[in-house]
A and B are shown apart, each in its own frame.
Chain A
């Protein structure tokens, strides 16, 4: 399984954090859907050319965050993305991030809250009319 994750030696963060961050990003974007099987620890270690213990730690911490689940002897999977789950929490965080950027851009453009909401309404309009 080719995952296209990568490790940077110029990145000051420990390698396990780099792996966690990239997996979280893929889940937040929806690229990796609930129930998707992650590569095995040893397969990802070989693909990234990092120690098994590094990948093991990344998976363990993601499991503690509730982002992935590991079933003994079966492998690791993206956790269910139902309301309140860790995976949906990541997607909410991502939504908030985009909204914050929108608010910042709006204030640069001199748009007040009403103007911004009105624009959002326009964008939502085609959906509403359906």
Chain B
């Protein structure tokens, strides 16, 4: 039971009138942080709502902490902390009231940890939810989820709308959670810098399909932009894993996703430079290529 996978999704499909999620596979292991990255409307929130049991899949298997979803959602949710950027506390109640409410519902509530989080997040129990800024609302929701010490945290855009200082406070607390290798975090975001920094694995999703899913290190190691200077009129040789090619006279730029050093030997003295790519650049290039491939 305690070794069950935090999230296991296989062949999950879900159709709406104007949007479908196709054949989604997703695995989150204990001790891991996974980043779910995609453009607006890609299916990130649908994926998260399926994992939370808020939606039932049309087809496929969804298991969270070993529980089939949405059937066993009540049991699973005892050990899931869920925060989304659009979550709002009850406007007339204070943060302290919310804390007492959550503490009464969840026996694992850790009051000492909640106090530590209050000071880290610079929040006060007497504040009414109405008086909290957007960023403070998110931090308050995160506090309520973290202080239960759930085994699985599902965070839908938790850093969206936060200023850089608040983002730092939040990321630092998330990494604090990961000191415990039995816990896991699924984390959706547009902010690829945050994802690149704290996620062990990354899943790119676009238009309802998984575009790529891999170790963060492998993503960053296997993508490169290679600049070539060729004799006028000649074309670059075919290279494995070519994603994009732009040319301007004798100058060419190749984007490749299966880079290794032997490729440079193959290209020889025509290489003017090789650049690593940020996760954001890799993400955009993957999505553009995925869309091109699927174009009829």
Identify the A interface with B (CB < 8 A): 9, 12, 14-16, 42-43, 45-46, 49-54, 57
Contacts and interface: CB of A to CB of B under 8 A. Distances in A.
A51 B193 contact: no
Interface in B168-193: 168, 171-172, 175-176, 178-181, 193
A49 B276 contact: no
16 contacts: A9-B197, A14-B276, A16-B217, A42-B179, A42-B180, A42-B181, A46-B172, A49-B171, A49-B172, A51-B33, A51-B197, A52-B200, A53-B201, A53-B215, A53-B216, A54-B216
Given A51-B200, A53-B215, 13 more contacts: A12-B276, A14-B276, A16-B217, A43-B179, A46-B176, A46-B179, A49-B171, A50-B175, A51-B199, A51-B216, A52-B178, A52-B200, A54-B217
Contacts of A12: 276
Contacts of A9: 193, 197
Interface string B24-36: 0000000111000
Contacts of B221: 14
A5 to B, nearest CB: 14
Contacts, number: 49
B103 interface: no
Contacts of B200: 51-53
A7 to B, nearest CB: 8
Interface of B: 31-33, 168, 171-172, 175-176, 178-181, 193, 197-201, 215-217, 220-221, 276
Contact of B178 (A14, A16, A42, A57): A42
Nearest to B215: A53
Contacts of A16: 217
A42 B183 CA distance: 12
Contacts of B197: 9, 15, 49-51
- Which 3 pairs across A and B sit closest by C-beta, in order of nearness? A53-B200, A46-B175, A51-B200
Contacts of B31: 52
Contacts of B181: 42
A53 B214 CA distance: 12
A75 B221 CA distance: 27
Contacts of A14: 217, 220-221, 276
B217 A45 contact: no
A36 B197 CA distance: 27
A57 B180 CA distance: 19
Contacts of B180: 42
Nearest to B194: A49
Contacts of A53: 200-201, 215-217
B198 A49 contact: yes
- Name the residue among B31, B32, B175 with the largest chain A CB count within 10 angstroms: B175
- Name the residue among A12, A49, A51 with the largest chain B CB count within 10 angstroms: A51
Contacts of A46: 172, 175-176, 178-179
B33 to A, nearest CB: 6
Nearest to A9: B193
A110 B32 CA distance: 59
B164 to A, nearest CB: 11
